Structure 1
Amino acid sequence: MSTREFRIWRGAAGEGDFASYRVEVNEGEVVLDLVHRLQATQAPDLAVRWNCKAGKCGSCSAEVNGRPRLLCMTRMSALPPDGPVVLTPLRAFPSVRDLVTDVGFNYAKAREVPSFVPPPGLAPGEYRMAQQDVERSQEFRKCIECFLCQDTCHVVRDHEENKPAFAGPRFLMRLAELDMHPLDAAPDRKRAAQEEHGLGYCNITKCCTEVCPEHIRITDNALIPLKERVADRKYDPLVWLGSKIGRRPRSD
């Protein structure tokens, strides 16, 4: 058994300061274990969100030594052995209290993305898809909505003025998933991604991919393909010409 120094942001509504604690550390423990021990022994009023403690609910998102992480999936043994462990709330969203932030921005953006539109003429239960048709978008269904990608995206994190026009990587990935869906019949997801959800703001730094606890390749498999589709539709002269020419009626 050893001890480590923890420096944790304490405060509410953006006002506060760091408080230092020394906490016992046992082999195999994760940061959330230490936060719980701290609550039990020294700081019972410390506010932190958590639920499953298994890396599947996304509740315990915070920043550990400046990097967005899940507290329940960050092993103490993986952190630098020297210096304090610094815990702060997600920087991109308003502070509520201590390590808890108001992530309502993300739910507002989720409501702005139109849901799956079934193909006309098919009732629920009649949908048929081949596995090879859904493999590309199936990866994106692993998202646990921890919003670490939203937090680390510099378009959201460093520029508050971008938030009204930019959905962020999690919801651009959702648009890409729907655009790749073999049965989605919604009109022009690509145009909506560019004109309504701010796809053009993304400059593919891959920071969102680097912090994803589910190892989803957000940039390579969702955002870049969506950007390519938008570019083809908007700037390729042959695609543009094809979109202007109506289909000739079939003659039986």
Structure 2
Amino acid sequence: MGGKRHFRVWRGDESGGELQDYQVEVNEGEVVLDVIHRLQATDAPDLACRWNCKAGKCGSCSMEINGMPKLGCMTRMSTFEENETVTVTPLRTFPIIRDLVTDVSFNYEKARETPAFAPPADLAPGEYRMQQVDVERSQEFRKCIECFLCQNTCHVVRDHEENKQAFAGPRYFIRAAELDMHPLDAKTDRKEYAQAEQGLGFCNITKCCTEVCPEHIKITDNAIIPMKERVVDRRYDPLVWLGSKIFRRPMTETVGHGETSVLGAVHAQPKGGVHSHAGGSHDPHAEAEAQRGVNWHRQVPKPTVPPVDEHGRLPLTELTFDRPAAPSPFGDDVTFPMPVEHLNYAHPEQDEKKH
């Protein structure tokens, strides 16, 4: 129902702030972000709030509503009692910039530290083949919109600032799990890297990250717990230990000058303090391999200009254009199916002869 509602919104910056009370008009069917926009238009024009799509797909409007990490654009006002005070505060885990805007660069730093997909060395772009079941296995993790609500609610970094350097967080655990499940990923130490460099052992699987995920990704059950189980199998399973003794494969071995490998995870001291973009391994070879995850030589079709008339205006319908429909975004000189050398991925059966 419409009418005035009581809001308490945190106002301030990195030097400090406080909750301020507002009476804001609320209409039927609105979400919290609508009310924040109305508040900016009426009583608080200088209120800072980050948002973009207003459709629950960009993850920009992350905030804490009545103490619960949520997306402002996906939290309906009808879920609150009419006489209930709605308290809106910024994400508590990250540094305040101003009002409801926080500095989430911690997450981007962890993203750069995560080794990228490394395709097999014996396959060229366009030769990758995957079973559909392998695609579906990791598809859930690709739904992540990077709202960082899971990162915010994870008490490992929420309550312990000193853990941030050694802990990547649930968002990047699902990235590690996705790549570990990928049948074409050439890096075989994803589990060990998650344990040694991303701080997988810090997580005690309280499932708080799963509870706040707006995409309903089962972060704990489908990513973190399986990764923990695989680490335990390799590191503590007595049969694996016995096999390492029989086949003379030590759990920790020297792999180069100043480097050691723990269950396949490479650790090297960075030279000159430069951090490898391939991850915490600081391995130049790993960085080079990480860059192979994209076919940089793919021929990308040139964009075409929009179909405008002699006055420079876009046509209202196809009837006003001199050709049926609009020009192809791929360009007029592109034929389909596109040649294999223009693709990063190809269908498994595209090379089979047609009957």
Task: Give the TM-score taking structure 2 as reference length.
Answer: 0.68
Aligned to 1:52: 53
- DSSP 3-state at the match of 2:97: strand
The 2-side partners of 1:70 and 1:243 are apart by 48
Q: 1:207 Cα shift?
A: 0.3
The 1-side partners of 2:243 and 2:125 are apart by 33
Q: How does 1:85-124 map to 2 (within 5 A)?
A: 85-124=86-125
Residues 148, 208 of structure 1: 8 Å contact kept: yes
Q: 1:125 Cα shift?
A: 1.2
* 1:174 maps onto 2:175 in alignment: yes
**Deviation per residue, 1:194-214 (Å, 9 max, x gap):** 011100000000000000000
Q: How does 1:102-251 map to 2 (within 5 A)?
A: 102-243=103-244, 245=247
Q: 1:73 Cα shift?
A: 0.4
Name the structure, 1 or 2, with higher relative contact order (CA <8 Å, separation 6+).
1
Structure 1 unaligned spans of 5+: 248-252
The 1-side partners of 2:11 and 2:126 are apart by 51
Aligned to 2:72: 71
The 1-side partners of 2:138 and 2:15 are apart by 38
Aligned to 2:25: 24
The 2-side partners of 1:108 and 1:42 are apart by 36
- DSSP 3-state at the match of 1:3: strand
- DSSP 3-state at the match of 1:53: coil
Q: Which amino acid aligns with 2:187?
A: A
Q: Which amino acid aligns with 2:234?
A: R
Cα distance, 1:114–1:59 mapped onto 2, change above 3 Å:
same
Aligned to 2:342: none
Q: Which amino acid aligns with 2:65?
A: V
- DSSP 3-state at the match of 1:229: helix
Q: 1:79 Cα shift?
A: 2.3
Residues 6, 84 of structure 1: 8 Å contact kept: yes
**Deviation per residue, 1:63-115 (Å, 9 max, x gap):** 00000000000000112433311000000000000000000000000111000
Q: 1:137 Cα shift?
A: 1.0
Aligned to 2:323: none
Q: Which amino acid aligns with 1:126?
A: E
- DSSP 3-state at the match of 2:145: coil
Residues 61, 73 of structure 2: 8 Å contact kept: yes
The 2-side partners of 1:65 and 1:14 are apart by 23
Q: Which amino acid aligns with 2:22?
A: Y
The 2-side partners of 1:9 and 1:73 are apart by 20
Q: 1:155 Cα shift?
A: 0.4
Cα distance, 1:182–1:204 mapped onto 2, change above 3 Å:
same
- DSSP 3-state at the match of 1:22: strand
The 2-side partners of 1:242 and 1:14 are apart by 57
Q: Which amino acid aligns with 1:111?
A: R
- DSSP 3-state at the match of 1:24: strand
Cα distance, 1:246–1:80 mapped onto 2, change above 3 Å:
farther
Please say which of residues 130-139 and 164-173 is displaced more in the overlay: 130-139
Please say which of residues 232-241 and 171-180 is displaced more in the overlay: 232-241
**Deviation per residue, 1:29-77 (Å, 9 max, x gap):** 0000000001011110000000000000000000000000000000001
Cα distance, 1:14–1:65 mapped onto 2, change above 3 Å:
farther
Aligned to 1:8: 9
Across the aligned residues of Structure 1 and Structure 2, the Cα RMSD in angstroms comes to 1.3
Q: Which amino acid aligns with 2:47?
A: L
Q: 1:21 Cα shift?
A: 0.6
Task: Tell me the matched-pair count.
Answer: 247
Q: 1:14 Cα shift?
A: 4.7
Q: 1:238 Cα shift?
A: 1.7
Q: Which amino acid aligns with 2:161?
A: E
Q: Which amino acid aligns with 1:193?
A: A
* 1:36 maps onto 2:23 in alignment: no
Over 3 Å off, 4+ runs? 240-244
Q: 1:136 Cα shift?
A: 1.8
Please say which of residues 213-222 and 131-140 is displaced more in the overlay: 131-140
Structure number with higher helix proportion: 1
Structure 2 unaligned spans of 5+: 250-355
Q: Which amino acid aligns with 1:53?
A: K
Aligned to 1:250: none
- DSSP 3-state at the match of 1:187: coil
